[in-house]
Amino acid sequence: MSRSSRFISTRGQAPEAGFADVLLAGLAPDGGLYMPAEWPHFGAAEIAAFSGRRYQDVAFEILSRFVGDGFTAAELREDIEAAYAGFEKPEIAPLSAMSGNRYLLELFHGPTFAFKDIALQILGRLFARALTRRGGKATIVAATSGDTGSAAIAALGGLPNITVFVMHPKGRVSEVQRRQMTTSGHANVHNIAIEGSFDDAQSIVKGLFAETAFAREVGLTAVNSINFVRIAAQSVYYFTATATLGKPATFIVPTGNFGDIFAGEAAERMGLDARRLVIATNANDIMARALNEGVYEAGAAHHTLSPSMDIQVASNFERALFEASGRDAGWVREAMAGFARDKRLELPEAVLSSLRARYDARSSDDDDTLSTINAIATTSGRIIDPHTAVAVNALRKFGFREEPMVVLSTAHPAKFADAVKHATGAEPPMPEGLQRVMELPEQLDILPADLSLIRQFISSRLAG
């Protein structure tokens, strides 16, 4: 079987795994992240031929290289078709022109109006299929900065043998984001508002996995962006955008957990020709500091107008470090242990220069975000959400180049109506699908950011 459907851990101490194991487990048992043993390769002619093809067909071409014998071709096709059947635009991820050679890659046409749907709609279906085949039950815990939670609920709510626990930082997601999670009405979905930050929620998830007896007993799994299947699914739109443009582009990506932009690196490693990958951060600028100063160091989490990026520890950065170190799992293991201990990691020169060969980084504060939303509305009449605005502003700071400049537009503006209103004086129109959640009753529990309390809560809900 092809090496691209065998997976290894970034920390080098987990057995090789197949696609279905990676899908169901999320995190590798040694605490590392799964990566393909070898990247599949697409030639320039193959990539050019993606132009004009249906998004679903390109997704099939790419994902089938990773799936191996995990699913049949017919199963994979069926799940891809079903995943995108509910999207509002037939292109799934349409490119729209801004001005000159600048484009928005619109990733928010799925059921929850943020880009997380693109991967989770597929992941949910494959997950249910793998679980049915394997038998048993799964408990999914997701830490969300706002959008993963609702996308996971939209993908997994109501499915048999799956119970979903979603933790969001209390008071730090927008009202629409919270309501999208708390109004699903599915009996297998439990929402927890954590009295803490997203990073607290993410570290509780890691802590639950570390309690191996508990994790095994409840069939614990994660659908956070550490799940490689999400990265693979997100790499697809880098290919379709490039094929549509017909030439290599620079991509500017609003970044939190480093999943979406790492999908760009994944596409490049599969043969895509791209110019630069520009990391756009808000005031939570750990990634911009890492790239520009060479020190990956967690600071205090800031609450910003782009809450889905209010993240200090960018989990998927470990994948980029693995590649940048020449797949030196021993070094990654030590580096991550050091970072867990000191909250600080000095990047060795060789690793840093390898990262800089691919990535640039620019950060923006809330004033930049507001003025960018306002400027784009004034000059083009187009309303963008605050996350997209962080990226548009990063593009401005990065400077315009010859090649097409593609900003990943990650959310619908109506999800962040308050910020948009603050910037432009008017609320963006609400799509029908969001209007509905504003009227439904909410279900959530508020808990302290305490690992053992959360574990007890999960156990008692599973028992009840």
Ligand X SMILES: *Cc1c(COP(=O)(O)O)cnc(C)c1O
Q: Is 283 in the site for ligand X (CB under 6 A)?
A: no
Nearer residue to ligand X within complex by CB, 252 or 270 = 252
* Minimum distance, C-beta of residue 307 to ligand X, in the bound complex (Å): 9
Taking alpha carbons only, the member of 180, 221, 136, 218 closest to residue 442 is 180
- Which window, 22-30, 87-95, 255-263, 331-339, contacts ligand X (CB under 6 A)? 255-263
Nearer residue to ligand X within complex by CB, 26 or 254 = 254
Nearer residue to ligand X within complex by CB, 130 or 414 = 414
Please check whether residue 56 is in contact with residue 27, taking contact to mean a CB–CB distance below 8 angstroms. Answer: no
d(CA 214, CA 224): 19
Other CB atoms within 10 A of residue 333 CB: 18
* Minimum distance, C-beta of residue 279 to ligand X, in the bound complex (Å): 9
Nearer residue to ligand X within complex by CB, 17 or 309 = 309
Nearer residue to ligand X within complex by CB, 309 or 419 = 309
Q: Is 428 in the site for ligand X (CB under 6 A)?
A: no
Please check whether residue 394 is in contact with residue 364, taking contact to mean a CB–CB distance below 8 angstroms. Answer: yes
Long-range contacts of 430-438 (CB under 8 A, 24+ apart): 431/113, 433/111, 433/113, 434/113, 434/176, 434/180, 437/176, 437/179, 437/180, 437/183, 438/176, 438/179
Q: Is there a catalytic annotation at residue 116?
A: yes
Q: Is 259 in the site for ligand X (CB under 6 A)?
A: yes
Among 209, 410, 413, 423, binds ligand X (CB under 6 A): 410
Q: Is 114 in the site for ligand X (CB under 6 A)?
A: yes
User: Going residue by residue from 131 to 170, which x/- string records binding to ligand X, judged by CB under 6 A?
Assistant: ----------------x-----------------------
Q: Is 264 in the site for ligand X (CB under 6 A)?
A: no
Q: Is 387 in the site for ligand X (CB under 6 A)?
A: yes
Tokens 């609400």: give the residue: 430
* Minimum distance, C-beta of residue 208 to ligand X, in the bound complex (Å): 20
Q: Is 225 in the site for ligand X (CB under 6 A)?
A: yes
Taking alpha carbons only, the member of 382, 428, 415 closest to residue 112 is 415
Q: What are phi and psi of 252, to 5 degrees?
A: -115, 120
Q: Is 116 in the site for ligand X (CB under 6 A)?
A: yes
* Minimum distance, C-beta of residue 330 to ligand X, in the bound complex (Å): 27
Q: What are phi and psi of 335, to 5 degrees?
A: -65, -40
In a 3-state reduction of DSSP, which class is residue 276?
Answer: coil
Among 255, 304, 312, 354, binds ligand X (CB under 6 A): 255
Chain-centroid distance of CA 65 in Å reads: 21
Among 201, 411, 423, 434, binds ligand X (CB under 6 A): 411
* Minimum distance, C-beta of residue 410 to ligand X, in the bound complex (Å): 3
d(CA 334, CA 354): 19
Please check whether residue 167 is in contact with residue 449, taking contact to mean a CB–CB distance below 8 angstroms. Answer: no
**Nearest-5° angle of CA 209, CA 212, CA 213?**
130
* Minimum distance, C-beta of residue 324 to ligand X, in the bound complex (Å): 17
Number of residues that bind ligand X (CB under 6 A): 16
* Minimum distance, C-beta of residue 49 to ligand X, in the bound complex (Å): 28
Q: Is 71 left (phi over 0), alpha (psi -120 to 50) or beta?
A: beta
Q: Is 258 in the site for ligand X (CB under 6 A)?
A: yes
Q: Is 177 in the site for ligand X (CB under 6 A)?
A: no
- Which window, 15-23, 57-65, 248-256, 349-357, contacts ligand X (CB under 6 A)? 248-256
d(CA 419, CA 234): 27
| Annotated catalytic residue within 89, 116, 247, 415 | 116
Nearer residue to ligand X within complex by CB, 4 or 410 = 410
In a 3-state reduction of DSSP, which class is residue 358?
Answer: coil
Nearer residue to ligand X within complex by CB, 94 or 219 = 94
Nearer residue to ligand X within complex by CB, 240 or 304 = 304
Q: Strand 189-195 relative to strand 445-448: parallel, antiparallel, unpaired?
A: parallel
In a 3-state reduction of DSSP, which class is residue 166?
Answer: strand
- Which window, 40-48, 195-203, 206-214, 251-259, contacts ligand X (CB under 6 A)? 251-259
Please check whether residue 285 is in contact with residue 375, taking contact to mean a CB–CB distance below 8 angstroms. Answer: no
Nearer residue to ligand X within complex by CB, 309 or 423 = 309
Among 106, 117, 199, 260, binds ligand X (CB under 6 A): 260
d(CA 227, CA 145): 16
Tokens 């900065």: give the residue: 145
Q: Using CB under 6 A as the criterion, which residues of the chain lie in contact with ligand X when the complex forms? A: 114, 116, 147, 225, 254-260, 308-309, 387, 410-411
Q: Hey, which residues are catalytic here? A: 116
